[in-house]
Chain A
Amino acid sequence: MPSRYGPYGGAFVPETLVPALEELERTWKAARRDAGFRRELSRYSRSLGGRPTPLYFAERLSRRAGGAQIWLKREDLVHGGAHKFNNALGQGLLARRMGKPRLIAETGAGQHGVATAMIGAALGLRTEIYMGEVDMERQRPNVLRMRLLGAEVHPVTSGQRTLKDAINAALRDWISNVRTTHYLLGSAVGPHPFPAIVADFQSVIGREIAREAACLWGRPPDLAVACVGGGSNAIGTFHPLLRTRTELLGVEAGGPRGHPTGAASLARGRPGILHGTYSYVLQDRDGEIRDTASISAGLDYAGVGPEHAFLKDSGRARYVAVHDEDALRAFRWLSEDEGIIPALEPSHAIFAAVREARRRPASHRIVVTLSGRGDKDLEVVGRAVGA
C-alpha cells in the first residue's frame, strides 16, 4: 500500500499518533488477507448497507443536456443516504479488530457523522462526533440523526467552525485518547494510511460501476464524474477505472460566484501540508490555511486527498470547480427531471456532467457518482431558491 502518491501523501503528525497509525496499517493489511474479515464486510455491506447500488439511466436529464447519456451511480441509496457508509463500516470493523471501544469522527455535511454513528450503534462502539457550529446549523437534520443514533455531537467553535476545524478537534481528541479510541476519518485525506484505507473501502463504488458497465455495454464508461471534498467518493469511483480508458473528472466546489477560492483546493491551491498529508491546499503566502466558502458543507474544505493531487499532476484525472449557483441549478434539474433529490455535494458533479454531455455524442456514456441524497439540504436550498 502506498504511503506516497508521487511526491504527495506521507504522515506529518505529532509523534504521539505514530504508533496508532502503525497499528492501523498493520491491522488493515492483515484484515485484507483475512477471508473472514472480507466475508463480514460484504455481509454488512449487503444486508445493512443495501449494496450493491444500481446504475440508473437519467434519460430526461440526458435529454435536457442534449448529447451524451448520463447515468447515475446510486450511492444515495446506501443506508444513511450517502457513500460514507462504505468507509465507516470498513473502519468500524477495523476498530473492533483492534479492540478499541470508542470511535471519534469529524463531519462536515453530517453524512459521515451519521454513518459513523450508525456503525458505532451496530457494532456496539461508543461514538463521539466533532462538527463545526456553522455546519451544525446548516445541516441540522443530521445533527438530530446522530444524536438519535446514540452518538454524542461536540460543537466545534474554533476557526471558521466548519470541516477543517472539526478535523483539528478530532485530531486533538485522538492525541489525548489514542490508546482507547479509533479516529474514523471520513475522507481520503489525513496521514498515511488513511488515504489508502478510505480509497480501499470506497473502491466498491468503482468496482460495481465497472462490473455493471461490462454487463450493460460490454465496456467501461467513457467518462466518470464525481464531486471532490476530501475526495473519498471520487477516489472510490476512479480507482477501479484507473487502468481503463475511462476519462476521469473530479468536481470541486467553486463557492459563490466571485469568491476568490471557494473550496477548490486543486484548482486554486498549491502544494502544502495540512492535517498530516502533503497535497494541494488553499493557503496564503505564509502557509496559513485560508478560509473557504461553499454552499455544501461536505465540500467546504481547504485541502484534498493526496492521490487526487497526484492524479491531477499526472493528467490522469481532470478537476474543475462548479459555483454554488450552478450546483443549485443541477439540484433542481435532477429533482424535476428524475424525481431524485440529490445532496448539494453531488449536485456539483451533476452540473459538470451535464456540461460535459452537451459537447459529447449520444453514444458516449457518462457515469456520475450520486454520492448522497438531499434530505439534509432542504432548508439551505429552500432559503437559496426562495421556495
Chain B
Amino acid sequence: MVDRARKGRYTSLAITARDAGATHLELGFPFSDPIADGPILQEAADRALRHGTHWDDLRSAVRDTSTVLPTIVMSYANPLWTRGLARSLANLKEAGAAGLIVPDLSLEESPPWRRAARRAGLDLTLLAAPGSPLARIDALARASRGFLYLVSRYGTTGGGEISRSADLAPLVRSAHAAAPELPVYVGFGIRDRRTALRAMASGADGVIVASALESALARRPSTATVPRVLGPIASAVRTGGT
C-alpha cells in the first residue's frame, strides 16, 4: 500500500522484494471504501489516508519502484475515474507503471477501461473468481492483459483458507486454453509456503501476496521483513511451478 509515511523507502523495499524472488510489484492506492478487502488492507488504507496520502504519492512511489521491478497499480475504480480515466492512466504510465488492477471493475463495465488502458499503454488485468462459470473465465482471460488474477476463494483479501487446488485447477486450465500466452496468478490469502504450494498445484503460473506482506510490514517496517515473508513463497512458486 502506498502510504505517505513510507516516502523514500519504496526503492529499497522493491530491491529487497526483487532479491527475495518477486517478479512484479503491486502498489495499492488507498481507498476509503475498499469492499473487496479484509481487515488488514482496510486498516492499511485507513492508515495511509490518515497520513494524508494523495495521488501524487502514488505517482512518486511508482517512479521509485518501476526502475527496480515492473510495477502494477491496484486501485478501486473511483479514484481513477474521478480525475478522468485517460488522464489517470496517462499519469501512471508516465510514472513508469506497467499495469493496473481494479478490484471492483467487472467484465461488463470493462470495455471503456480496456480501451483507455490500451491507449495509455498499460496492461489492464481482470479478476476471475471461484464462482465464475467457465465461459466467463474464458471471456475474462481473453480480455485480460499482463496476467489473469484468479481470486483464491469466496472472500475478501487476507487470512482464511484458500480453495482446494482441485477446485481451482479447472479454472486455470480453462483460462490457459482460452488465452495460452496469458499467465494465471492466484491471489487472496497467499501468506506462506503451504498456501503458495496449494495455489501452484492448481497449475497456476504464480501467486500474488498483499495482506501477508502488509501486516508484516505494519508490525516490523524494516526491509528485512520482505525476504522473511516472500522468501518461502518464492521458493514454493519455483518448486510448484516445475
Q: Which residues of A contact B (CB under 8 A)?
A: 10-16, 18-20, 158-159, 164, 168, 171-172, 175-179, 270, 272-276, 281, 283, 285-289
Contacts and interface: CB of A to CB of B under 8 A. Distances in A.
B33 A168 contact: yes
Contact of B154 (A10, A159, A177, A287): A177
A15 B107 contact: yes
B155 A288 contact: no
Contact of B54 (A272, A273, A281, A286): A286
20 contacts: A10-B108, A12-B109, A14-B35, A14-B106, A14-B129, A15-B107, A16-B129, A18-B107, A18-B136, A19-B131, A20-B131, A158-B42, A171-B35, A176-B154, A179-B131, A273-B76, A274-B78, A281-B78, A286-B83, A289-B32
B132 A172 contact: no
Given A14-B106, A172-B37, A288-B49, 4 more contacts: A12-B77, A12-B104, A16-B151, A287-B31
A20 B42 CA distance: 24
Contacts of B83: 285-287
Nearest to B49: A288
A288 B46 CA distance: 11
A107 to B, nearest CB: 17
Interface of B: 30-38, 42, 46, 49, 54-55, 76-83, 103-109, 126-133, 136, 140, 151, 154-156
A286 B82 contact: yes
B127 A15 contact: yes
B31 A288 contact: yes
A287 B78 contact: yes
Nearest to B39: A158
Contacts of B78: 272-274, 281, 283, 287, 289
Main secondary structure of the interface of A (DSSP, over half): mixed
A272 B81 contact: yes
Nearest to B30: A288
- List 3 A-B pairs, minimum CB-CB distance, nearest first: A287-B82, A287-B79, A16-B129
B164 to A, nearest CB: 16
A165 to B, nearest CB: 8
Could you say which of A10, A158, A177 has the most chain B C-beta atoms within 10 Å of its C-beta?
Answer: A158
